[in-house]
Structure 1
């Protein structure tokens, strides 16, 4: 539910200065439909001749041409937390091949990869976030236990030391750019990830002509996504709610929905067409979440649907407060009510137009320029 994969038509002009050079594009573990995987695909599309490496790919993923690490042949592929301490070693023993340019798509340790000596190989890294469970345990509970403080400190030191050879960083948001500066003491260019805004904007008339009579929540049903708060907000404002997605909190959220005074409907794992229809039928997307970037709010705005969410993280970039949505510094559901009542002040045309700046075409243009500048260095 975090992202939707674009088709081959989204590919831009390949990075010309890399045409005659050996290139590797690497990524962490490879799942089915994550936003980071889509970024990896789009980067690789700019360098069609590149070799593509991943730690492992999920069993149900049909993605040809991926070269998996030796970690994929071990039971550790089933447990990311257990595999984490080994990842820096894996990236240093990935292959004996040497490349002229290596581009990493990193949210853990992929940016530490070595496929050639730094004086001969140019290393570039697109960062979704410094590993949150290592650097930001308040965001990711997997690293928050007190007993994990010593190993977390050791991994932080290792992360900095093993990434000194990276010549250029790109960050997926200003939020992540700030973390790179704070944790690694490095600068990064902000290049927002690609969103298939054309698909969501180009809905059939039957989708466009809905009455927009409910509020919408979309995403994984996990604690930090605050779906319990979304239910409480709908209850406060007295509007029906649709919750789309899936996740381990489903039973808990259904119990909360039963206690609400408004109708709450669950849409489990809707496909892209169904999700688009849900966006177009919603009065607003409720998104009280602190995300690094957040693709779902952009998809909603591409459908002319405003966003009501937190004044934090990626929403500071993806939502224009007072024009394409409303942002609030609060997790109290009562503070969202006045903003929902102000929704008639906003226009769908302005909201859709704003979403266009996060298109796949825009990403292709910017990532190609970044690759060419970094490769020339």
Structure 2
């Protein structure tokens, strides 16, 4: 965590980034989807530097974000396949524009941190990293890129990733987990600035939502294999409690089959609205999160509603959950091992859980990001 960066400038006081008003600033993101945590980070950084030019590889057709300048790759069929586009991304970031900028800030989870929009002598390069590209550096994490036939191409891309990013002046990581990967793979240090979470919205639920009985366990996210939603259903059965599975994804049919075989009620909420998700958080006894994530915004949203988190003792949960105070962390993935922790949920204070979540607010992100840019961008 960045030290001494929590003070937010008072109204009317000079903003730390005012000195950049006369500078040419570029903000760079990978592909821009309709929804996603990395896209939200990019929006938040953009709000701090509203006059900056904003570049992306391409914008998905259902994304409505204005004023994004797309790369030449957006005019090719490669925009439809991230895997096919991956080998060409370093080239795209080196041929993005002939314009030159004084400061370039990338929001990177693939190759955006390799972008060049000016010489390393005249341009400052900062990069906020969601993760070094998992499909080339840690393919076993979620299975992408783990085909043995991709071993040689992966090594080539790893070498290019390191070689083409030597000009980056400073890195920020979204978690201690990602900071460790940056050190391991790129041999660089980074400050940690956790992503912004809209805790104010989730905490300020209508009274009817806040006073509903907490009767079920909740799992929320994208329904893909490494998110372990089948395990969430099995944990609920072991605990003898109903479970709500919210989200969407390609595993829906398989998960519905799992649900048919268990003895507890399983309710599917497909693509819940933000308002409905807030209702679901407030009505849950606990959010089950047995997954290894880089950071994990969902557990913070749940805690903003006073909902404890029960999940794995690894990754981002080590930063977002205070074990024994705002939830419980466990090393095992045996469904029966979760049951004693679920029986202890009444020991936890909802007020303590909600107050902890406010440390990850959008205001905290803005203050820390502003201080980092002002310091590292000089």
TM-score band (shorter)? Answer: over 0.9
In structure 1, distance between residues paired with 2:277 and 2:147? 36
Length-normalised TM-score, structure 2 = 0.96
Give 1:235 deviation, angstroms. 0.2
Native 8 Å contact 1:14 1:47 kept in 2: no
In structure 1, distance between residues paired with 2:62 and 2:214? 36
Superposed CA deviations along residues 237-282 of structure 1, whole A, max 9, x for unmatched, are 0000001000001011011111111000000000000000000000
Q: Which residue of 2 aligns with 1:120?
A: 122
Q: Which residue of 1 aligns with 2:214?
A: 212
1:241 counterpart = 2:243: yes
Structure 1, unpaired ranges of 5+: 1-11
Q: Which residue of 2 aligns with 1:189?
A: 191
Q: Which residue of 1 aligns with 2:158?
A: 156
Superposed CA deviations along residues 137-183 of structure 1, whole A, max 9, x for unmatched, are 11132210000000000000000000000000000000000000000
| Structure 2 SS opposite 1:166 | coil
Residue in structure 2 matching 1:317, options 307, 314, 319: 319
| Structure 2 SS opposite 1:293 | coil
Post-superposition, which runs of at least 4 consecutive aligned residues in structure 1 deviate over 4 A?
A: none
Q: Which residue of 2 aligns with 1:7?
A: none
Q: Which residue of 1 aligns with 2:306?
A: 304
1:129 counterpart = 2:112: no
Native 8 Å contact 2:16 2:371 kept in 1: no
In structure 2, distance between residues paired with 1:249 and 1:13? 47
In structure 2, distance between residues paired with 1:142 and 1:196? 30
Structure 2, unpaired ranges of 5+: 1-13
Native 8 Å contact 1:17 1:375 kept in 2: no
1:286 counterpart = 2:288: yes
Q: Which residue of 2 aligns with 1:5?
A: none
Q: Which residue of 2 aligns with 1:373?
A: 375
| Structure 2 SS opposite 1:242 | strand
Residue in structure 2 matching 1:81, options 77, 80, 83: 83
CA RMSD of aligned residues (A): 0.9
Give 1:104 deviation, angstroms. 0.1
Q: Which residue of 2 aligns with 1:57?
A: 59
Give 1:17 deviation, angstroms. 2.4
1:327 counterpart = 2:329: yes
In structure 2, distance between residues paired with 1:208 and 1:233? 25
Q: Which residue of 1 aligns with 2:6?
A: none
Q: Which residue of 1 aligns with 2:7?
A: none
| Structure 2 SS opposite 1:141 | coil
Native 8 Å contact 1:14 1:48 kept in 2: no
Give 1:13 deviation, angstroms. 5.4
Length-normalised TM-score, structure 1 = 0.96
